[in-house]
Amino acid sequence: METNSKRELFEKMPVPKALATMAIPTIISQLINLIYNVVDTFFIGRTGNSYMMAGVTVSFTLFMLTVAFGNLFGIGGGSLMARLIGQHRDEDAQHVSAFAVYGCVLLSLAYGLFVYVFQTPLLTLLGASLYTMEYAKQYVLLVVVLGSLPTILSAVLAHLLRNVGYSRQASKGLSGGGLLNIILDPLFMFVLLPHGMEVFGAALATLLSNVIACIYLIIVFLRLSGKAPVSLRLSELHKVSGSQIRGLFSVGIPSAILTGLFDVANIFLNAQMAVHGDLQLAAIGIVMKIERLPNAINIGICQGMLPIVAYNFSSGNHTRMNAVIRCARKYGLLICFISVALFEIFGGGVTHIFLDTSGDSAADALATLAFATTFLRIRCLASPVQFLNFSSSYCMQGIGDGRDTMLHAVVREIVFYIPFMFILDRIFGEYGLAGALPVGEACGAAFALFLLTRYIRKHAAVQ
């Protein structure tokens, strides 16, 4: 198998070079996918319609839950595969890959059906109003109901490929889908569909792009089958052992819950912000897109780091594992501090990119942007501690520490972030609600670093 040619990357390549080899393609795909999400917001903003913006903001939470389901089988399966390869158990890794793929197919179909049946109460719960419900439903129908299968399957295939050393191929699929979405967005929104259907056009562009990305990744998977420890053969399913399934879910479920709780926190954020008004809701939607820029880079670093950490933890090379963690942390924090400085200085200019102020709704647009600028300057302060949360969590997932991953997820969102929303909202209003993020993330990061350090020291002592 080609896996042998990948062992040098995991075992011997200088740490900065190995991390760059795995992380740079992932960062590129993260940025391109971020761009296509931002492009949706940008083009919808060209309408000057704050209610369209608020409708997409509300529905985006349901879309982000697909990321949680992708992590369930993608990170759960990928982390286990990297650890199995570190133990030279390549055939077992192949069995796990098939189980992860078909498991995610069943789950994504069930999720799409669930959202279709309950879309009205779900969107109402998320903060959709009489003025934003129709736009939210347009987006959800195409991107979530019809699009959950290609979206989740693409994410899982990319995670599995990345964790056996094929980061470049995984990123090509996701990046290609993102680039296609950027091209199709204006075509569907402003050329092919009539005025008033801009949200539907953006959603249709996203759906088609995800379908094509998924097809590409399936072809890559089929071509690598037999050369690398990946497979789409149904015959592999009965070869998966109970312990391997438990190993997948022991990391996958906490990873999914981590992402799911982040989305639950956003549900609370949107619902509380909607109480202040649709303009404030539209503003926080703009900010959540902008602040994803440093997050996308840092998640790319963390996803590139995870397979190397998992492999070396499994093989017992804790010295190299710790060096990879330190290297990733150094570059991630550097990016965060640069981002904070840029957002504080240029926050007003950045937010004005996302909403046209020259139309009939100029007054509403200007008020929305005033809120967005202040929200951004408050929330960007969370970036460094948010990265520490990301990196610590990905490390725990890589070494198979599902219990602490779960504990961190619950404490970070349920004990810290969500309660701070209510407390600071009550004291400072919508600006306090924005300030809950840096306060909650700082507390979560301190707890995450404690959990990770404790687990690594415990297992180093045992070995």
Q: How many CA atoms lie less than 13 Å away from 130 in the CB half-sphere?
A: 0
Is the Cα dihedral 155, 161, 164, 167 positive or negative? Answer: negative
Residue 295: both structure tokens together: 């997050």
pLDDT score for 326? 93
Averaged pLDDT, 50-56: 76
Per-residue confidence band for 48, with pLDDT thresholds at 50, 70 and 90: low
pLDDT tens string 128-138:
777 778 888 88
Is the Cα dihedral 20, 25, 26, 29 positive or negative? Answer: positive
Taking residue 194's Cβ as centre, other Cβ atoms within 10 Å add up to 8
Per the model's pLDDT, the better-predicted residue between 395 and 186 turns out to be 395
pLDDT tens string 366-401:
888 889 999 999 999 999 999 999 999 989 888 888
Is 361 in contact with 48 (CB distance < 8 Å)? yes
**Residues across the chain:** 463
Taking residue 460's Cβ as centre, other Cβ atoms within 10 Å add up to 14
Average pLDDT value for the chain: 85
Region at 240 (left for phi over 0; alpha for psi -120 to 50; beta for the rest)? beta
Question: Cα(246)–Cα(88) distance, rounded to whole angstroms?
Answer: 20
Maximum mean pLDDT: which of 29-33, 143-147, 414-418: 414-418
CA 271 from centre of chain: 21
Per-residue confidence band for 251, with pLDDT thresholds at 50, 70 and 90: confident
Domain boundaries, the chain: 6-462
Is 417 in contact with 425 (CB distance < 8 Å)? no
Q: What would the DSSP string read from start to end of 323-365?
A: HHHHHHHHHHHHHHHHHHHHHHHHHHHHHHTTS--SSTTHHHH
Q: Which residues pair with 225 in a beta bridge?
A: 228
Query: Coil, strand or helix: which one is 411?
Result: helix
pLDDT score for 1? 45
Is 112 in contact with 148 (CB distance < 8 Å)? yes
pLDDT tens string 414-460:
999 999 999 999 999 999 999 999 999 999 999 999 998 888 887 65
pLDDT tens string 313-341:
888 888 888 899 999 999 999 999 999 99
Per-residue confidence band for 41, with pLDDT thresholds at 50, 70 and 90: low
Question: Cα(437)–Cα(416) distance, rounded to whole angstroms?
Answer: 9
Question: Cα(354)–Cα(340) distance, rounded to whole angstroms?
Answer: 19
pLDDT score for 460? 58
